[in-house]
Amino acid sequence: MTAPSPASPDGKREFRAALRSGRGLFLAAAGMSCVVNLLMLTGPLFMLQVYDRVLASKSLPTLQALFVLVTVLFLAMGLLDFLRGRVLAIAGARVQALLDGRIFAGSLRAALSPAERARPATALRDLDAVQGFLSGPAPHAFFDMPWVPVYLGVIVVLHPWLGFFAAGAALVLLALATANQMATREPEDAARAAATAADKAADTARREAETLHALGMAGTMAARWGARRGEALTAQMVRSGRAGLFQSMSKALRLFLQSAILALGAWLAVTDRLSPGAMIASSILMGRALAPLDQAIGQWRVFLRAWQARGALQRFLAENPPPEVRTALPVPAGRLTVEGLAVMPPGARQPTLRGVAFDIRPGEAVGVIGPSASGKSTLARALTGIWPPAAGDIRLGGAAIDQWSATGYGRLLGYLPQEVGLFDGTVAQNIARFRDDMPPEETVRAASRAGAHEMILRLPDGYDTQIGEGGARLSGGQRQRVGLARALFGDPVLLIFDEPNANLDAEGEEALLKAIRHAKARERAVLVMAHRPGAIALCERLLVLRGGTPVAFGPRDAVLARTTQNHAPPAVAGGAA
């Protein structure tokens, strides 16, 4: 599948729609910023009145009235400033809430591609960066920035020389902000790339911790991780040093410029060109005019990260569009039909499975056998809808599988992969697929059909036992039995077992055969991929794959007789097929 270009309008439109959902809040914050910035003139005007009127007239009632007015205005300004921050935080949370589920679902769909799964998942972190920017102090600087010319204009009114000086100071700070961005961009990108590589190496090492320790590779991998971590730290130190230099220069320069404008104002006051009140007011006004610029320099990294995240999110949304809404179909009969199927794994250039055609009738089990890399797991992924067909049809109950939604189709299936993936939670939650709309009796029924009920009761808390991430607190055989119970949950129409007895003992294998018999008795379709003959003992027909191509399909014993030498039909545990 060809990825859309970074400028794809769909991703931009979806992202902008999320931002527009908070438009009213952003407008409210902008309105509050207008009032707050107007109230910021309270201090300079108070100084002007005190120096030029109160001190000249020595009128205490005037001072008292001015002080009461200033107190009220500053209280109002503080309240509005607080409300502005809360409104922006709510707007950021709303944007995140609108995109959270969409991006998580898109990340799961993207992870169906092995190449994408190998890359670190960054979309949710990008969304966090955007939300953090919208909810943090950075937007305040941007809302306050349009008021810089207003403050400079007031200074010009007080005296043109002071206005020109303040405007020059603002230009100098803008130049520093631009230089800061240019100087830190390269080390910022290098630090992020190195940190991502180090995190990926750490995640891989954690997943394979047992292998690393068993083979004495822990020290070597730690050294490799340390080298990447060192690269990230070095780049981060370079970026931090440059950013710190510019921030320190900006802060020191801003304080110096405030003193310089005060000195200029004093000279003008001494030469009777400016009143003492205007001298003090101009210094305060210039400090206020430069504050948004100084804040923007301090928040530049946050803004840059959010801007990069915005582009990445737009590309992600464009490359992972939401699934189409499908009309709900009734539960179909257990009949699977596959015609001319070819499957090309994501990122591959050639199909790894081609020319596959077979059917499974209600109440029938079909086995798929073949050597490693023959295409059995690829077929399982195609039948479960994980990988879309490059050609051909897959139909369940007469309807193509893409006519169901992913959730709807998944609830029709019972899938037991080679490596059972369990999730942090209880045994019951994992069996019930974390659904809360089904009665507990369904969970126990699925476990009983999988022959896992007694095993589960022997766990410390029975069905409420916490199994840890990946089922770490269960043995391999226990995970396989829980996975089998999960596959049987909800009485699915089609059961797909990929090497189901790989980690099962004799008791577990007998439970598997019992589950297959029960499914067949209920007119369900069963497909079993296997190497060991025990798993295909209950299969009426066999499909043989070699090199991704079918070489035989028909009655089990006849196919085995043609494809093997000295064949003896496998014994059926507990009775005839």
Q: How many CA atoms lie within 13 A of 458 on its CB side?
A: 7
How confident is the model at residue 364, as a pLDDT? Answer: 93
Residue ranges in the chain whose pLDDT is less than 50: 1-8, 566-577
412 and 557 assigned to the same domain = yes
User: Is pTM, for the whole model, over 0.85?
Assistant: no
Q: CA angle, corner 85, sides to 81 and 89, nearest 5? A: 165
State the Cα–Cα distance between residues 294 and 290, nearest whole angstrom: 6
Tokens of 564: 């093997």
Strand locations in 444-508, DSSP E? 494-498
Q: Last residue of a domain, which of 272, 288, 322?
A: 322
Tokens of 23: 């438009």
Tally the domains of the chain: 3
Q: For residue 577, is it within any domain?
A: no
Spatial contact of 271 and 148, defined as CB atoms under 8 Å apart? no
Tokens of 75: 């209280």
Which residue range(s) make up the domain with 154?
Answer: 147-298
165 and 16 assigned to the same domain = no
500 and 436 assigned to the same domain = yes
Phi/psi of residue 498, nearest 5 degrees:
-105, 105
What are the residues facing 415 on neighbouring strands?
496
281 and 313 assigned to the same domain = no
The DSSP element (H or E) to which 225 belongs, if any, is helix 218-270
How confident is the model at residue 577, as a pLDDT? Answer: 34
State the Cα–Cα distance between residues 469 and 490, nearest whole angstrom: 24
- pLDDT digits 0-9 by tens, 248-294: 787 788 788 888 888 888 898 888 888 888 888 888 888 888 888 77
Spatial contact of 518 and 449, defined as CB atoms under 8 Å apart? yes
171 and 287 assigned to the same domain = yes
Q: For residue 574, is it within any domain?
A: no
Q: How many CA atoms lie within 13 A of 370 on its CB side?
A: 25
How confident is the model at residue 147, as a pLDDT? Answer: 86
How confident is the model at residue 178, as a pLDDT? Answer: 80
